[in-house]
Amino acid sequence: MRRGTGLLALCLALVTTLLTACSGDGGDDTVRLRVLASPDLAVLAPLLGELKDDTGVDLRLDHRTDAETKTPDRDRYDLAWLSSDRYLRLTDKSATREWQRTSTMTSPVVIGLKPDVARKLRAQVPGSRLTWADIADAAATGTVRFGMADPRHAGSGLAALVGVATAAAGTGAALRPEDVSCDRLRGFRSGQTLTADTGPALVDSYVDHQDEANALITYESDLLALNATDRLDERLEVVRPEDGMVLADFPLLLLNPAHRTAYDKVTQWLRRDSVQRQIMRHTLRRPVNTAVTRDARLREPVGNALFYPDRPAVVETLLADYGDPDRRTTSQVVFLLDFSGSMRGARMAALREAFAGLSGADLSASGKFTRFYRGERLTVVRFGGRVLEEKTVTVTGPRDLTALAGTVARGGYGDATAVWSALDHGYRTAARELAADPDPDRSVSLVLMTDGENNAGLSYAEFVRRHRALPAAVRAAVHTYPVHFGEADAGELRRAATRTGGRMVDAAGSSLSEAFKEIRGCH
């Protein structure tokens, strides 16, 4: 009996020792920690064995595509290691407030261009320094066809989206709700031909479909690593946009405070000079330790680091507007343009200049984000006392824009101004378009430009009656954006905008060009 008791005690002691060695958090015993990780961290696998040998901490990484968009389960994970935790901190402040974080490396989101495209774009830009606006402009014309990870799932895709939207806003500050009240990225989005749920999957997709894209938007480290392989038909030129980049700092997050000691060991090890050099060699990401000499490929300055939005509504709007990158959405704008006699002369010249700017003549940064783009469906309705002419094109190239400009350039003026008849005509056009293509993602908006008061055709009250009689789906989907110009009745235009879910823009204090740019992308 005594012998059996001793044997049992010895077995229990051995089991306890083994369990402690596997999961303990003290002494020299191995500590095994469960880590929720972004797929971008898989490249560090070769270093984890050395980390375990040096610190006694065994990190077990679980790579998940939703790691950066879903709050970690603290009952399942002890740590999280992400490319960025900004989205989580923005959308779940209560859960993330207590987390300790340590940056482990950095990499900006940049653009890789095939050499011929890079040369073409640089030749068009003074100083050859490309911006997000230049890329958006080239995407709108079909010159740039890019791959980018889905911003709803991948940190690199969301960072790129924030970077482009910040450049489009032109404030140089963190995006505000008013900066994204209208979608300025539709031209940019029209150039996306490849996507994936993660950065690594995007790289693989690009390698397999190099004939479908000539640009790749992702972390600098991904592009440099890809260029160092033999997987490309031609290496990509790395472009760091002059108007700024969003930087990922790959934070290691402590979710379970009980493992603070092990966490400190890991972070101290990761930030050692020797380890930072290894991380740089394995990943081509920039070291956070400034004492480490950078690889020659990483010495290009990051430049202007863009601010991340500090309001959840901004990111939610960006993601909702951008939608599913796998789906091709169709947008249509119906321009209802006053061609009454009062528009002759300088006013008509201003209108034609505005359309030329939207067709690509406006080379300002804002002009590049608001220009007409490939795939967009455009209708121009000229009206006086009645509809004088109507022209619809789907933009495939310069010829379509020339045809549209020709409609705006033609003479032929009416002797009256039938504002509400024209708007009623616009709604009937929109209703036909929506019936022909009932895709819920389809966007149709009306832009009404007039310089005078209504003196022919329907009254405002009759227009309202007809608007109420439209199908509910049309009334909900189609909004009116009046441009107040000259002697037009601002009060009535504003009421029409409010009734239809749009808003009025006053061109009296600026110009028709600026007014049209202000409402581009509103829907």
Structure confidence by residue, pLDDT tens digits, 364-421: 999 999 999 999 999 999 999 999 999 999 999 999 999 999 999 887 899 999 999 9
Domain coordinates in residue numbering, the chain: 31-106+249-298, 108-247, 332-520
Confidence check: pLDDT of 17 > 60: no
Q: Look up the CATH architecture of domain 332-520.
A: 3-Layer(aba) Sandwich (3.40)
How distant, in Å, are the alpha carbons of 223, 339, 365 from that of 127? 24, 42, 15
Instruction: Tell me what the mean pLDDT of segment 296-300 comes to.
Output: 94
Report yes or no: 167 and 123 within 8 Å, Cβ to Cβ.
Answer: no
Report d(CA 395, CA 390) in Å as an integer: 16
Angle between helices 155-169 and 312-322 (to 10 degrees): 100
Q: For domain 108-247, give the CATH number.
A: 3.40.190.10
Instruction: Tell me what the mean pLDDT of segment 486-502 comes to.
Output: 94
Confidence check: pLDDT of 170 > 70: yes
- The string of pLDDT tens digits covering residues 29-46 is 899 999 999 999 999 999
Cβ-Cβ contacts under 8 Å for 65 (sequence gap 6 or more): 39, 153, 154, 197, 198
Confidence check: pLDDT of 510 > 80: no
Among 193, 242, 241, 205, smallest CA distance to 220 is for 241
Give residue 172's pLDDT band: very low, low, confident or very high (50, 70, 90).
confident
Topology adopted by domain 31-106+249-298: D-Maltodextrin-Binding Protein; domain 2 (3.40.190)
pLDDT at 6: 47
The arrangement of strands across the sheet holding 505-506 comes to 387-394, 377-383, 331-338, 443-450, 479-484, 505-506
Among 46, 43, 106, 109, smallest CA distance to 290 is for 106
Confidence check: pLDDT of 16 > 50: no
Report yes or no: 323 and 331 within 8 Å, Cβ to Cβ.
Answer: no
What pTM was estimated for this model as a whole? 0.89
Report yes or no: 87 and 68 within 8 Å, Cβ to Cβ.
Answer: yes
What percentage of the chain reaches a pLDDT higher than 90?
A: 82
Give residue 28's pLDDT band: very low, low, confident or very high (50, 70, 90).
low
- Between strands 107-113 and 192-194, the pairing is unpaired
Same fold yes or no, 31-106+249-298 and 108-247:
yes
pLDDT at 515: 93
pLDDT at 2: 40
